Amino acid sequence: MNQSKFRPTVERLDDRQVPSVSPAQVVAAYTDTEQTAQELEKFASTVGEPRTTAEISYIASQYPLISTQSQADEAVLSEFAGDFRTELAQNPSLVPYYGKFAGGIGYAVYQALLNADYAEVYAIGFGATPPPPPASPPPPPGDTGPNLGNNVPLPAGTSDSNPAGSTLPFSLGDPSWVNLSSGVRILDQTVGTGPQLAEGDTINADYIGYLTNGTVFDSSTKSGALTSTLSTSSYIEGVVNGMIGMQAGGVRLIDIPATQGYGSAGSGTAVPANAELIFQITLNSFTSS
C-alpha cells in the first residue's frame, strides 16, 4: 500500500471543472485516504503480534468504521475523477498541465478501495461481525418465470418444458419461445423475408403437427399443404394466431393450448381431448388479401 507522492491542489480548478463535489470534499477524501493507508500499512506489519483484549476490541469496533469511511472517500474521489475526465476530454489543451493530477486522483480512488477492503478484513479477523451480503435485485417488472420472450405470461394450457419421455425434436423450454397476447407461443426457427403474413391472406404452407409426447398426429406429407385463406373458418384458432407475422420462407413453431385447438372434443383418434398441440409450419408463399 505505498502512497502516491502527488498531492492534489484542487483550488487551482474553477467551479466548471468540479461541478459534483467541492474542492474541500476532494482534499478531505484524498487526505483521509492517504492517512488511512499509512495506518493500515503499519498495522499489517504487526498483525501477527499478540494483542491485549482492549486492542482487539478496538480493532473489531473501529475498523468497520474505517472501512465505511474509506468507501465514502472512494465515492467522492470517483465522482471527482469522472468530472475531471469529462473536463479533459472537452478541453484537450489541459492534458499537459493536469495529466499528473489526473493520475494522482486515479491512484487515490484505487487506494480508497484497498483501504475499505483491508479494514473490513482486519475487523472481521479480530471478531467484528461480517457485513450482510447485498440484497438480491428485484425481478424485472412483468417477469413471471422462464421462457417469457417478452412480458406476456406463459399462455394457459401451454408447457414450458418437455414432458418426461417426450420425443419432440425441439425443446418447449427453449428461452427463445415468445408468448403472444393472443394466447399461443411461437418460436421462429428460420425467419423469412418480405412482407408479413396477415389474417385473410391466402397461404401455401407445409406443416407437421405434434402432441407434447412427440407423436406426429398430422402433416402436410399426409394431408397436403395448407392452401386456404388464413382464417378461423379454415384453420384452428391457434394456427391462425400463431402464423400471423410470418414471412415467406420462414419456419415457425407454434405452441397451442387446447382452447385454441380442438378443445375437449379432440379430433378423432389422432388428437385426444384437451390436448396441447405444437405445429412446425413452413410458409412457402402467400398472397395478400
pLDDT band at residue 87 under the 50/70/90 scheme: confident
Q: What is the pLDDT of residue 153?
A: 72
pLDDT the model gives residue 17: 44
The last residue of a domain, from among 92, 125, 158: 125
Please report whether residue 160 resides in a domain.
no
pLDDT of residue 97: 66
Mean pLDDT of 153-173: 85
* Of 108, 125, 115, 2, nearest in space to 65 by CA: 115
Establish if 272 belongs to a structural domain: yes
2 pLDDT band (50/70/90 cuts)? very low
Rounded to whole angstroms, the Cα distance separating 201 from 184 reads: 20
For residue 108, the model assigns a pLDDT of 87
Same domain, 120 and 214: no
| Position 161 in a domain | no
Question: Residues 173-195: pLDDT tens digits?
Answer: 888 899 888 889 999 999 999 99
Q: Band of the pLDDT at 137, cuts 50, 70, 90?
A: low
C-alpha cell of residue 49: 503480534
Strand partners, 179: 185
Residues in the chain, total: 289
Cα 163 from Cα 6, distance rounded (Å): 67
Residue type, 237: E
pLDDT value at residue 105? 78
DSSP SS3 for 127: coil
Q: What residue numbers bound the domain in which 275 lies?
A: 178-287
Residues 199 and 118 in one domain: no
112 and 185 share a domain?
no
Nearest to 231 by CA among 222, 242, 240: 240
Residues 101 and 197 in one domain: no
Q: If you average pLDDT over every residue of the chain, what do you get?
A: 83
At residue 228 the predicted structure's pLDDT band, cuts being 50, 70 and 90, is very high
For the full predicted model, state whether its pTM sits above 0.85.
no
Least confident of 125-134, 238-247, 277-286: 125-134
Whether the Cβ atoms of residue 226 and residue 235 lie closer than 8 Å to each other: yes
Higher pLDDT, 146 or 150: 150
Q: Which of 150, 23, 131 is nearest to 76 (CA)?
A: 23
**Cα end-to-end span (Å), the chain:** 75
pLDDT one-digit tens code per residue, 57-78: 999 999 999 999 999 999 998 8
Distance between CA 222 and CA 235 in Å, rounded? 17
Sequence-distant (6+) residues with CB within 8 A of 76 are 21, 25, 26, 28, 29
The CATH number linked to 274 is 3.10.50.40
Residues 31, 112 within the same domain: yes
